[in-house]
Chains A and B, each alone.
Chain A
Amino acid sequence: MLLKLARQSLWNRRGTAIMTLFSLTISLVLLFGIDHLRKEARQSFTSTISGTDLIVGARSGQLNLLLYSVFRIGNATANVNWATYQRISKHPQISWTIPIALGDSHRGYRVLGTNTDYFVHYRYANEQKLQFSKGQQFNDVYETVLGAEVASKLGYKVGDEITLAHGVGAVSFSEHKDKPFTVTGILAATGTPLDQTVHVSLEGIEAIHIDWQQGAPVPGRRMSAEQAVQQDLTPKAITAFMVGLESRMATFVVQRQINEFKGEALSAILPGVALAELWQMLAMVENLLLLITLLVLIAGLVGMMTTLLASMKERQREMAVLRAVGAHPWYLFVLIQLEVLLLTAFALLAAAITLLVALWGLQDILASRYGLFININPFSLQSLYWAVAVLAVSALLACIPAFTAYKRALSDGLAIRL
């Protein structure tokens, strides 16, 4: 009966109840959504690179190096000489290296020049190897391997030809049209920026720039694709390289040796440490965001209490009738509490459904526009804690109108003031 009363009373005031539900749902969607995005972003970031002990690039801050080498965000300030790279990769403690050359793009997707070691040694998430969903690695100068998203978004399949553009903008006016690349393979989706990368060989990068100087084609020195292959395509410089060590124990020693390398100003960073620094920087923004969502939620809850308090006046009749038939003032207290809990529970449910639908719909956009790979399921044990906390706070706030009902029941008795 109590539940029936609460339910029907809410239904009786469905206009305001639905608006309250709406505002609560929005704030809960915000809370759960932002909490989820925050965790997923962290997950997505940290799973991008794994098994790499050091990243080496021209001397710069570790964040900058991490961002451009791993996340394809921003640009390198300087390059690493090919000779330097060759020398360091022969270090006895170094087991493998992956060279990286950045700077070109294909329809907004970054082009990464590397060698076939990339497909052998690169690891992401929990030491996972790269897999080909179709085709195989590149073996020739004008061959390319596409990330999963590049292929699916642009509709490429193995055997298609693509042209690269100079620079990294989505729209480029200087394309390397004369030297098209053939797609030989497409990587399986990894949920990392790798899916948005076009992979070519270092020689390929060298070949398309062979008749260029200072970022522009040299007039009168055009060289056809076939001619270019005849040239010496050994790169002169690369952007950065990843290093795998024989033994993790040597990490700091090798890092110091690279940082103190005499021939060239280099920086060697530990990806894990750099990621931690990145998160430390973002943590403040993250916490601020969470704080704002919490305040929005509190505002929603306070709004609900305001509506309830306002309705107490028109519900005096209802309360007096209940008192007359023998309801104890506590019964009225519990009735109001129950209404609040029902509303909050409904709002939680509505928020869960909205969030699921929204994530399902937004997943692709988030992935393609922002490189955020979001798990559709936003719920974890922690969201259960959140839900319980929200219910607890609303029950606490509901004490205000509930206590008003209780007090009125005692003072007004059977008197009904119209």
Chain B
Amino acid sequence: MTGIKPVTDKPKIPAIELKNVVFYYQRAGWQLSLPELSLLPGQHLFIKGASGSGKTTLLNLLAGIISPRQGDIRLNGAPFSTVSAAKRDTLRARHIGVVFQQLNLISYLSVLDNVLLSAHFAGSDKHESEQRAKVLLQSLGLEPELNHQQAAALSVGQQQRVAIARALLTRPALLIADEPTSALDADNRDSFMQILLEQANACRTTVIFVSHDPGLRRYFDMQLDMQHLAKGVQPCY
């Protein structure tokens, strides 16, 4: 288990903070509610949930793709869910990284270009980002000669690591990982988890990790069960 350094010596501005968040679809008789969730920089959260449990909706809320019907989400202490969709897209580019289950990469772009996508949308300096991307890829165990290969040529494990590099390139406050290990075998899964949390800690990035695999629970100090969220009231801690 990786060590998590509680940040007590600094002013506690949560990386992400949800208050009384309620979301429902008009037609479905289903509702997602999350009275309170607050994660400090560097704190990681494991969300246990299978598909169909409202997981995607929660991820869309956290990533700012959709806005809650009620309640408020703040990112880095600043309003997030209440600003315009375009502003949320910009905030997502700058402060949130996303790693999907699989096929994270745009197959026809090179590995390096895939990583640099996030810098492009965040509007970071191109040269600086490229230097950082190369360092990041190497520290994730990807050989420099892979940088200019097409993403599709990589193995699944390698692709997932490139996805981490992309998600962390802009040193985001929050990294959302949606079952990123489900396509990996057991050995790869463990090394993936190690490397993900190691790199996230290096950036002081908060990780929200969604998975139905209870075996991964041990990497995290906090846990949330989708079942409780979808049902109704669920305190976090």
Which residues of chain B come closer than 8 Å to A327, judged between CB atoms?
89, 93, 121
Interface segment among A26-34, A83-91, A293-301, A316-324: the answer is: A316-324
The 10 listed contacts between A and B (C-beta, < 8 Å) are A12-B108, A324-B98, A324-B100, A325-B92, A326-B93, A326-B96, A328-B85, A328-B89, A414-B178, A416-B100
In the bound assembly, the distance between CA atoms of A413 and B178 in angstroms comes to 13
Instruction: Tell yes or no: B216 within 8 A of A by CB.
Output: no
B86–A326 touching, CB < 8 Å: no
Interface segment among B59-67, B136-144, B195-203: the answer is: B59-67
Which residues of chain A come closer than 8 Å to B90, judged between CB atoms?
326, 328
In the bound assembly, the distance between CA atoms of A330 and B66 in angstroms comes to 16
Interface segment among A1-9, A35-43, A349-357: the answer is: A1-9
Instruction: Tell yes or no: A360 within 8 A of B by CB.
Output: no
Instruction: Tell yes or no: A415 within 8 A of B by CB.
Output: yes
Known: A326-B89, A327-B89, A328-B86. A413 touches B106 (CB 8 A): no
Instruction: Tell yes or no: B104 within 8 A of A by CB.
Output: yes
B113–A321 touching, CB < 8 Å: no
B121–A413 touching, CB < 8 Å: no
A9-B108, A321-B104 provided; 11 other pairs, C-beta below 8 A?
Answer: A5-B106, A5-B109, A8-B109, A11-B108, A324-B63, A324-B100, A326-B90, A326-B94, A326-B122, A413-B56, A413-B66
Instruction: Tell yes or no: B193 within 8 A of A by CB.
Output: no
Count of chain B residues with a beta carbon within 8 Å of a chain A beta carbon: 32
Instruction: Tell yes or no: B204 within 8 A of A by CB.
Output: no
Name A's B-contacting residues (CB within 8 A).
1, 4-5, 8-9, 11-12, 317-318, 320-330, 413-416
Query: What mask results when residues 49 to 78 of chain B are scored 1 for a CB within 8 Å of chain A, else 0?
Result: 000000010011001011000000000000
In the bound assembly, the distance between CA atoms of A11 and B106 in angstroms comes to 13
Closest CB in chain B relative to A314 CB, distance in Å: 11
Closest CB in chain B relative to A211 CB, distance in Å: 83
Closest CB in chain A relative to B176 CB, distance in Å: 8
A8–B108 touching, CB < 8 Å: yes
Which residues of chain B come closer than 8 Å to A322, judged between CB atoms?
106, 117
B108–A325 touching, CB < 8 Å: no
In the bound assembly, the distance between CA atoms of A326 and B98 in angstroms comes to 10
Closest CB in chain B relative to A219 CB, distance in Å: 85
In the bound assembly, the distance between CA atoms of A274 and B13 in angstroms comes to 89
B120–A414 touching, CB < 8 Å: no
In the bound assembly, the distance between CA atoms of A5 and B120 in angstroms comes to 12
